[in-house]
A and B are shown apart, each in its own frame.
Chain A
Amino acid sequence: MSTDYQLRSRIRAVTDHTVTALAVLATVIVVTPLVAIFIYLLYKGASSLNLAFFTQIPKPPGEPGGGMANAIVGSAIVLAIASVIGVPMGIGGGIFLAEFGRGTKLANAVRFTADVLNGVPSIVMGLAAYALVVIPQHHFSAFSGGVALGIMMIPTVCRTTEEMLLMVPNAVREAALGLGIPNWRSVLAITVKTASPGIITGCMLAFARVAGETAPLLFTALGNAFWSTSLNQPIEALPLQIYVFALSPYDDWHRLAWAGSLVLIVLIVLAVGLVRYVTSRGVLKGVS
C-alpha cells in the first residue's frame, strides 16, 4: 500500500518535471527563429547599409552600388496617404465605441466587425483596392496603394483608441461636463487629449504594421524603378522592392534587399518598443 502510494507520487513528480522541461523547450524553440532572423538580418544588412542606400536609386543588375532612395520616399508617400485615410476614421470609430456606443448592440457589432476586418488577408485588401480605385482610374497609382493600406489601418487604430479611452476615469468626463462644456468639446479636448499618448502609439503600431505590408501593394502601387513622387503614377515601396530584389538572381540586389529589410525591421522594433513603453507606463500619468 505504502509503496503503491510512493510510486504514484513519484510518477506525479516526474510528470511535473517533464512538463516543466517541455515548456522550457517550447520557449527555446520559439525564441530561436527570432534570434536567428535578427542575427542574420544584422549580419547581412549592416554590411550593405551605407549612405548610398539612402540617397541613390537602384542600379541596373551587374553594376555595384545603388540604393533604395526611391523606395523609401515612395513608402513614405504611400504611408502618408494611408494615415490620412486610416487614422481619422479609426479614431472616430474608437471614440464611438468608448464614448457614445458603450454597451449598445451597434457598438458590439462595430467592435466585432473591426476585429473580423483585422483578420482579413492583406492580399484581399489589395484586390479590393484594385477593384475600387485601379479599375475606375485605368492605371496603377500611389493613391490606390494608400487606400489599400489605409483601410487596413482602421480596425487597429479603432480598437486601440477605444482601449485607451476606456482607461480615462469617468471622473474626468464628469468634471468637464460639470463645468458646462458641451459634450463634443469635452470628448475632444478632455477625454481624447488625456488619452492622446496612448492613441498616438496605437496609430504608430498600425503604421508600423502596414509599413511592412507587401501583398496589398503588388497590384495597386505596382512598383517603379525610377524616381516618382506623383500620386497618380505607379510608385516604389520598400517591401515591394525587397520582394522583387529577393527573387532576383543578382547578388548586388540581394544585398540591397537585406539592407532594406534591416531598415524596415529597425523601424518596426522601435515602434513596438515605444508602444510597450507607453502602455506599461500607463496613459494617465498625472491624472488620477
Chain B
Amino acid sequence: MNANVPEIRIPPSQFQPDPEPAKGQTPAKAVTVEASDIRKYLMSLGSASLADETFRWLIVLCALSIFAIVALILWQLIERSQLTWQKFGLGFFYQSFKNPDTGAPMYWDPVNERFGALPFIYGTLVSSFLALLMAVPLAVGLAIFLTEMCPRALRAPLAFMTELLAAIPSIIYGFWALFELVPLMREYVNPRCIQWFGWTGLFNDDNPTGLGYLASGVILAIMILPIISALTREVMSAVPHSQREAVLALGATRWEMIRMGVLRNARIGIVGGIILGLGRALGETMAVTMVIGNTPEIHRSLLSNGSSMSAVIASQFTEAVSNVHLSALIEIGLALFILTIIVNAFAQLLVWAVTRGTPAQVR
C-alpha cells in the first residue's frame, strides 16, 4: 500500500528518517503504531481549523478525566474518613480493646464507637494468601498446557472456557459457594483437614458451619485463576520461538524446554500476573462476604469465621448509624484502595517489562 504514496513530494525540512525500532520489537508485527512521516506531512497541510482544535481538546479532556477520577476518589475517601482519623490516628490499623465483661480483646465495637481494622486486614490477607497458594500452581499448569502441550482443536474451546470463568459475576460465585461449596467443606473437606493437619494448630474444630477463611480462600482461588492464567499465557506466548527451538535442538525433553526456554524467560511476567491476581483477591467483595462468616475477630484456625476489609464494608455500610461507624468503614475502603493501587501498579510494571511492544490482548 505504501508503495503508491511516495508520489507526493515532501519538503526536506518535513522529512525525518524513521526512528530506530525499539529494542526487542520484532519486525514481524505488521501494524506499526508510529504515525508515518507522510501522515504527519498531510496533517500539517490540512487546515488547523477550529473544529480540529476543539476535537483535539475534547479528546484530551476525556483522557485526562481518568486522572481526575482517581484523584476524586482519593480525595473523597480521605475527606469522608477524617472523623476516624482524628479519633484513632494510625492506631486504627492495629489497636484492640478490652471487652468490659470478659476481658477478651475486641477490635470492632459499633455500640461504644470503638473501631480497629486489624481483624479485617488479617482476614483479607489470610484469604488472599490461601487463594494464591491454591490458584498459582493450577494457573501456571493450565497456561503451560494451553501454550505448549494442547492439541490445536482443544485450545480455543479451553481458552474460551477460562475466559468465561473470568466473566461470571462475583455474586453468582458467592451464591454457588454458599449452596454447594460450603456444604462440601462442612461435610468432607474440613473434617479431613482437622484429621490430617490438626497438629499444625491451623485447623480447629470450633466452627460447624463450613464458612470461614478456608472457604473464602477456595472461592477466591477459583475467581483469580483465569486472570493469572491469561496473563501467564500472554507472557509465555511472547517468548520467541527461537528460544524453544534452541533448547530442543540441544536434545532437551519437552519439560526441560518449557523450564529452560520458556519459564525462565517469562518468570518476571508470571510474577506480575500472580500479583495482579493478588490485587483482584484483595478487593473481591461479594463472594467473600457470603462465605467468610462476617465476625470481626482474629482466629488462628483457618476454619473459623472471620471477616475481610471488603466484606465488612459490604455487610455493615447500609446499617451503620453513627458517623464514626461510617467514617471507619470509609477509612477501611481508603486503605483497600491504596493497597490495591500499589499492588496493581507493581504488577502492571512487571507485566509491561515483559510484554512491552506486543499489543495487549482483549481480556
Inside 8 A of B170's CB, which chain A residues have their CB? 122, 212-215
Min CB–CB distance B59 → chain A (angstroms): 5
**B180 adjacent to A117 (CB under 8 Å):** no
**B67 adjacent to A174 (CB under 8 Å):** no
> In this complex, what residue of A is CB-closest to B222?
A33
Indicate if B243 sits at the interface (CB-CB under 8 A).
Answer: no
Given the known interface contacts A34-B161, A123-B336, the answer about A268 and B253 at a Cβ–Cβ threshold of 8 Å is: no
> In this complex, what residue of B is CB-closest to A168?
B31
Indicate if A79 sits at the interface (CB-CB under 8 A).
Answer: no
Inside 8 A of B337's CB, which chain A residues have their CB? 120-121, 124
The one of A34, A110, A132, A214 in contact with B171, judged by C-beta atoms closer than 8 angstroms, is A214
Q: Most B CB atoms within 10 A — which of A128, A171, A276?
A: A128
Indicate if B28 sits at the interface (CB-CB under 8 A).
Answer: no
Given the known interface contacts A92-B63, A132-B72, A187-B55, the answer about A127 and B330 at a Cβ–Cβ threshold of 8 Å is: yes
The one of A103, A135, A208 in contact with B34, judged by C-beta atoms closer than 8 angstroms, is A103
**B76 adjacent to A128 (CB under 8 Å):** yes
Min CB–CB distance A109 → chain B (angstroms): 8
The one of B38, B172, B343 in contact with A212, judged by C-beta atoms closer than 8 angstroms, is B172
Which residues in chain A, 9-64, are within 8 Å of chain B measured between CB atoms?
Answer: 12-13, 15-16, 19-20, 22-27, 29-31, 33-34, 36-37, 40-41
The one of A88, A155, A205 in contact with B66, judged by C-beta atoms closer than 8 angstroms, is A155
Indicate if A257 sits at the interface (CB-CB under 8 A).
Answer: yes
Which residues in chain B, 78-104, are within 8 Å of chain A measured between CB atoms?
Answer: 79-80
**A13 adjacent to B340 (CB under 8 Å):** no
Indicate if A222 sits at the interface (CB-CB under 8 A).
Answer: yes
CA distance A148 to B15 in the complex (A): 48
**B165 adjacent to A166 (CB under 8 Å):** no
Which residues in chain A, 122-165, are within 8 Å of chain B measured between CB atoms?
Answer: 122-125, 127-128, 130-132, 135, 151, 154-155, 158-160, 163
> In this complex, what residue of B is CB-closest to A162?
B360
Q: Please, how many residues of chain A have a CB less than 8 angstroms from a CB on the other chain? A: 114
Inside 8 A of A166's CB, which chain B residues have their CB? 31, 33, 359
Inside 8 A of B242's CB, which chain A residues have their CB? none
Given the known interface contacts A26-B145, A31-B158, A166-B33, the answer about A100 and B176 at a Cβ–Cβ threshold of 8 Å is: no
Total cross-chain contacts (CB, 8 A): 307
CA distance A166 to B358 in the complex (A): 12
Looking at B107-115, B198-206, B278-286, the stretch in contact with chain A turns out to be: B278-286
Which residues in chain B, 282-341, are within 8 Å of chain A measured between CB atoms?
Answer: 282-286, 290, 310, 313-314, 317-318, 330, 333, 336-337, 340-341
Indicate if B144 sits at the interface (CB-CB under 8 A).
Answer: yes
**B63 adjacent to A93 (CB under 8 Å):** yes
B interface, how many residues as a size bin?
A: 35 or more
Indicate if A116 sits at the interface (CB-CB under 8 A).
Answer: yes
Indicate if B268 sits at the interface (CB-CB under 8 A).
Answer: no
**B340 adjacent to A119 (CB under 8 Å):** yes
Indicate if B249 sits at the interface (CB-CB under 8 A).
Answer: no
Indicate if B39 sits at the interface (CB-CB under 8 A).
Answer: yes
Inside 8 A of B173's CB, which chain A residues have their CB? 37
Min CB–CB distance A243 → chain B (angstroms): 6
Indicate if A3 sits at the interface (CB-CB under 8 A).
Answer: no
Which residues in chain B, 14-36, are within 8 Å of chain A measured between CB atoms?
Answer: 31-36
Inside 8 A of B247's CB, which chain A residues have their CB? none
Min CB–CB distance A210 → chain B (angstroms): 10
Given the known interface contacts A132-B72, A171-B2, A182-B49, the answer about A122 and B285 at a Cβ–Cβ threshold of 8 Å is: yes
C-beta contact mask, B131-174 vs A, less than 8 Å → 1, else 0? 00000011111101110010000000010111111011111111
**B42 adjacent to A178 (CB under 8 Å):** yes
CA distance A122 to B158 in the complex (A): 28
Indicate if B65 sits at the interface (CB-CB under 8 A).
Answer: yes
23 contacts between A and B (CB under 8 A): A22-B141, A23-B149, A31-B158, A102-B35, A112-B345, A115-B348, A119-B276, A119-B340, A120-B283, A121-B283, A131-B79, A154-B65, A167-B31, A170-B39, A178-B5, A183-B56, A187-B55, A212-B171, A214-B285, A239-B171, A254-B179, A268-B167, A272-B163
Q: Which residues of A contact B (CB under 8 A)?
A: 12-13, 15-16, 19-20, 22-27, 29-31, 33-34, 36-37, 40-41, 88-93, 95-97, 99-103, 106-107, 109-110, 112-125, 127-128, 130-132, 135, 151, 154-155, 158-160, 163, 166-167, 169-171, 173-174, 177-178, 180-184, 187-188, 202, 205, 208-209, 211-215, 218-219, 222, 239, 242-243, 246-247, 254, 257-258, 261, 264-265, 268-269, 271-273, 275-276, 279, 288
